[in-house]
Structure 1
Amino acid sequence: MRKTTLAISLLLILGLVASGCGNKDASSSDNITVKIGLLKNVTHAPAFIALQNGYFQEKFGENAKIDVMAFDNGSDFSTAIATGEIDMGFVGPGPAINQFLKSKNFRIISGSNNGGAVLVARTDAGINAVKDLVGKTIAIPTKGSTNEISLRLLLEQEGIKVTTDSSGAEIITRAPADTLVAMRQKEIDAALVPEPWGTQMVQEGTAQILVDWDKIPPNNGDYPLTLMAANDKFIKDHRDLAKAAIEANLEAIRFIQDDPTKSYELVSNELKELTGKGMDTDLIKSALDHLKLTHEVDADAINLMAKVSFDAGYIKDVKEEELDLSPMLDLSLLEEVTQNK
């Protein structure tokens, strides 16, 4: 039962009567709706698999209900988890960092995957290396995103400034689907996007890979792209369910690794539920081939990303030396799960 619109089961009603509608443990999964947020990106594949295979439902218990909310970008997700609109879910470190420094009321509890983004350039734009991006327009999905952080690091490595004139590179925002159109219409010269959008542009002949996923900074593609987060109230009141969500994430990662072919079909099915349209399995394969599934969280990479966000002006009212993100990470739940505590 994943949607709040589903009727309450007779079993649940009888259970409420029998218990007198009270005396339940605060962490019980009975009579609770867990609100899970995610993005409509293939890079959120473990979340898709956990939903399609029923791992969340299995771990939460049959009397828990699951309400899934899909977001177009990580900024909207981060606002939702900070305001309690959702309990937990999957997001990139860029928007999570920016929101945490404002609200400080949610935590990163596990990793999900690393990498998975590519830098593509329009085939007729005369761009053959990052240094050729001077005077060009580059699209990213949203301001402050993990993709923008990677792009700024790439430009910095080549000594290219971010500007709005021809002396440097201009960064604009376009939703990934709109980036396809913008590339065809020559509105943009390049884009740093999560897969499979880059591969799709390459396949249709409008773009070429400029920097592949395993060369994208930081750490040559081995940086957090999708993380699990939960708000503080959910962790405090339902720590067992937060741990159950981590278990579902780990099981989904194992499933993708063990049966990638079946995973392509399931990811497409979940995309259809979220957006009304599935995706070609070859594109899904490309996306999953271009990321590293992992529950681990690289704190050093997150700190580097925070510095880039700070330098870009997204982090305000905080001094650089005060950028302490250790409180944002609560990996104690992950440790308990992996050690079977």
Structure 2
Amino acid sequence: MKRWGWVMSLAIISGLVLSACGQSKEAAVSTSAANITVKIGILKNVTHAPGFIALQNNYFQQAFGPNAKIEVTSFDNGADFATAMATDQLDLGYVGPGPVINQYLKSKNIRVISGVNNGGAVLVARKDAGIRTVKDLVGKTVAVAAKGGTPDLSLRSLLQQEGLKVSTDASGVQIVTRAPADTLVAIRQKEVDATLIAEPWGTQIIQEGTGTILVDWNKIPPKDGNYPLTILVANDKFLKDHRDLAKKAVKANKQGIDFIQQNPDKAYELISSELKVLTGKGMEPALIKAAIDHLKLTQDITLADINEQAKISYDAGYLKVKAEELDFSKFLDTSLLDELKKEK
């Protein structure tokens, strides 16, 4: 009996030790998750609306946990965002595909983890610039937010379709870079003749009465507006160390999309509130509605979409290797999105 009692005591003690070890391990994991800071990047465009909603409704915070800290950095263009992502200044965020495609080929440490929206950019001509068709852009100056950005690539594709060339003189179309807010001023002051610009800036130019739509969003190449304008990306280190949080970010993005579709009027108010946080100035709900109406909200994105953007970037001279010679299969990682779809 004494021997049996000793064995039982040893078993109990061993169980307690193992239990304590398990609790310590769980506590360590919990503490590690609680102390994390997630750095999210986003552009100051209404085309990033699902991200705005996810921030305003605390979808990211709810997903990451109450003790996680979220740092948000806003950008005027995708090129600066892509550089910040590649240099570990950001963990994840919203951007156009053009800049991160270019950056991926340099650093190989960025992954696309979800779509956000397609389309959402318009070609606007200054009212008194004498521009009635795309061919009238010869000898004119057209503004884009950044070289290599998605609107820039769309503009170059459109000009190529019309048989027009990009030049630095009046023999072709001159492309200049201006931040979206600066483009509004440049149109007013007649410094530029047209712009291919993401919403809501295009709609704002129209409502001011200084410009007219030359090519609407659903006719902008490629695929008549059905191209990825905004995507959700993450860097490799974050995906490796915190894959669970990246998956939760994809879910938060979907919650943002769903909220806009199900509660549009409330969404416009929240988008305006987030714009005020990022820029210091909100926006009229009617203007936001007009912008949202000019895009297609979707999580879906394919390798064909990426390859098409890469081809346009190569044709524009931003890539030195032909798109068909490049492998973007690792750049696009929809495994998190696929897992979430299966869990429904």
Query: How far, CA to CA, are the matches of 1:248 and 1:65 in structure 2?
Result: 16
Partner of 1:46: 50
Partner of 1:244: 248
Bigger drift between 42-51 and 322-331 goes to 322-331
Partner of 1:290: 294
Per-residue CA deviations over 1:273-300 (Å, capped at 9, x if unaligned) read 1111111111111111111000001322
2:33 alignment partner, SS class: coil
Query: How far, CA to CA, are the matches of 1:322 and 1:26 in structure 2?
Result: 44
CA contact (8 A) 1:122 1:207 kept: yes
Which AA in structure 1 matches 2:111? R
2:167 alignment partner, SS class: coil
CA contact (8 A) 2:311 2:322 kept: no
Partner of 1:171: 175
For the pair shown, the structure with the greater C-alpha radius of gyration is: 2
Partner of 2:151: 147
1:322 maps onto 2:343 in alignment: no
Per-residue CA deviations over 1:209-231 (Å, capped at 9, x if unaligned) read 00001111111111101100011
Partner of 1:280: 284
Unaligned segments of structure 2, at least 5 residues: 1-22
CA contact (8 A) 1:223 1:298 kept: no
Query: How far, CA to CA, are the matches of 1:320 and 1:33 in structure 2?
Result: 36
* CA deviation after TM superposition for structure 1 residue 28, in Å: 5.7
| 1:89-108 aligned within 5 A | 89-108=93-112
Partner of 1:340: 343
The structure 2 residue matched to 1:119, chosen from 104, 118, 123, is 123
Partner of 1:29: 33
Partner of 1:159: 163
Query: How far, CA to CA, are the matches of 2:191 and 2:25 in structure 1?
Result: 60
Question: Whose helix fraction is larger, Structure 1's or Structure 2's?
Answer: 2
1:262 maps onto 2:266 in alignment: yes
1:81 maps onto 2:85 in alignment: yes
TM normalised by structure 2 equals 0.90
Query: How far, CA to CA, are the matches of 2:339 and 2:242 in structure 1?
Result: 15
* CA deviation after TM superposition for structure 1 residue 302, in Å: 2.0
Query: How far, CA to CA, are the matches of 1:302 and 1:151 in structure 2?
Result: 17
RMSD: 1.7
Query: How far, CA to CA, are the matches of 1:90 and 1:327 in structure 2?
Result: 19
Query: How far, CA to CA, are the matches of 2:319 and 2:31 in structure 1?
Result: 35
Query: How far, CA to CA, are the matches of 1:25 and 1:171 in structure 2?
Result: 51
TM normalised by structure 1 equals 0.91
CA contact (8 A) 1:75 1:96 kept: yes
Partner of 1:56: 60
Query: How far, CA to CA, are the matches of 1:315 and 1:196 in structure 2?
Result: 29
Which AA in structure 2 matches 1:311? D
CA contact (8 A) 1:44 1:90 kept: yes
Query: How far, CA to CA, are the matches of 1:67 and 1:197 in structure 2?
Result: 26
* CA deviation after TM superposition for structure 1 residue 310, in Å: 1.4
Which AA in structure 2 matches 1:215? K
Query: How far, CA to CA, are the matches of 1:289 and 1:160 in structure 2?
Result: 30
Aligned residues: 322
